[in-house]
C-alpha cells in the first residue's frame, strides 16, 4: 500500500457564505493529494503527459462528515491500496483538520489513456517501478 500526506490551507475564496468549504472544492483537494503523492515518488503528471499518457477522472465518490473553514490547515491523506495492473487506478482520500478530526473521505477512479487517441493504456513503466516496492507482489 502506498500512502502520502499533503497539507493545504483553506483560502477564503474556497468557502461559502457560511464560512464553510464549498463541497465542490474537495475534488480539487483530492487532485492536489494525487499530484503531490506522485511527486513524492519523484514523478509528476507533467512527466506522464510528456510520455503521451493522460489520466481522466471517470468516477468520484465523496462523503462529507464534518466541515472545514477558512484558514484551516487540512491534511489530505492519499492512499493507493492496489498496484494497478491495467488501465485503471483508484485513489482513496481522507481529509483531516489540524485537530486530526476526519472531515471528508473520497475515492477517485482514473484511467490511463493515450493523449493522442484517448485509448486505454497501462501505467507508464517508470511510475510502475516507483510504486512497486510499496506492494507485496
**Residues catalogued as catalytic:** 16
Q: How far is the C-alpha of 73 from the C-alpha of 96, rounded, in Å?
A: 9
Where would I find the H helices in 15-109? 25-40, 45-50
Question: Quick check: helix, strand or coil at residue 33?
Answer: helix
Using an 8 Å Cβ cutoff, are 120 and 87 in contact?
A: yes
Distance between CA 74 and CA 68 in Å, rounded?
8
Strand, coil or helix: 14 = helix
Amino acid at each position: 500500500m502506498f500512502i502520502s500526506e499533503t497539507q493545504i490551507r483553506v483560502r477564503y475564496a474556497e468557502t461559502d457564505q457560511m464560512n464553510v468549504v464549498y463541497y465542490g472544492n474537495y475534488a480539487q483537494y483530492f487532485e492536489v493529494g494525487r499530484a503531490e503523492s506522485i511527486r513524492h515518488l519523484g514523478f509528476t503528471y507533467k512527466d506522464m503527459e510528456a510520455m503521451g499518457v493522460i489520466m481522466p477522472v471517470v468516477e468520484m465518490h465523496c462523503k462529507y462528515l464534518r466541515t472545514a473553514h477558512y484558514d484551516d490547515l487540512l491534511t489530505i491523506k492519499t492512499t493507493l491500496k492496489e498496484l494497478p495492473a491495467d488501465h485503471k487506478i483508484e485513489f482513496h482520500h481522507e481529509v483531516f483538520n489540524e485537530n486530526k478530526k476526519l472531515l471528508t473521505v473520497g475515492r477517485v477512479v482514473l484511467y490511463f489513456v493515450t493523449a493522442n487517441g484517448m485509448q486505454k493504456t497501462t501505467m507508464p513503466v517508470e511510475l510502475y517501478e516507483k510504486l512497486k516496492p510499496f506492494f507485496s507482489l
